[in-house]
Amino acid sequence: MQFFRTPHNSNKIDTSASIAKERLQIIVTHDRVNSTGHNFLPAMQHDILKVIRKYISVNQESINIRLDCEGDCSILEVHVQLPES
């Protein structure tokens, strides 16, 4: 089969293969980021709550933590309803 390939055809195959490989790497990387990106949120929420409770007496319902993703930017919002003193 190699006999029938011309240098022009072999370069085209190599180029197509390298482009396909690069696209697959981008897709796999994107999937990894998306699938593992939010797994840390429950642990982070627990840690933030622990730190807040160290200084202020609040219950868990008084704290709202939200993670929004817009394009390649992630926004972590923490809302704490402070008790009246």
| DSSP codes joined into one string, 20-81 | HHHHHHHHHHHHHHHHHTTTTHHHHHHHHHHHHHHHS---GGGEEEEEEEETTEEEEEEEE-
φ/ψ (deg, to 5) at 56: -135, 140
Question: Are residues 52 and 24 part of one domain?
Answer: no
Q: What is the mean pLDDT of residues 25-48?
A: 67
CATH number for the domain that contains residue 44: 3.30.1070.10
Q: Is the pLDDT of residue 54 over 80?
A: yes
pTM greater than 0.85:
no
Q: What is the mean pLDDT of residues 67-77?
A: 77
Over the stretch 73-83, which tens digit does the pLDDT of each residue have?
A: 777 788 888 87
Question: Are residues 64 and 26 part of one domain?
Answer: no
Question: Are residues 55 and 23 part of one domain?
Answer: no
C-alpha gyration radius of the chain:
25
Question: Are residues 47 and 15 part of one domain?
Answer: no
Structural domain harbouring 12: 1-36
Q: Structurally, how many domains does the chain consist of?
A: 2
Question: Are residues 24 and 61 part of one domain?
Answer: no
Q: What is the mean pLDDT of residues 57-85?
A: 79
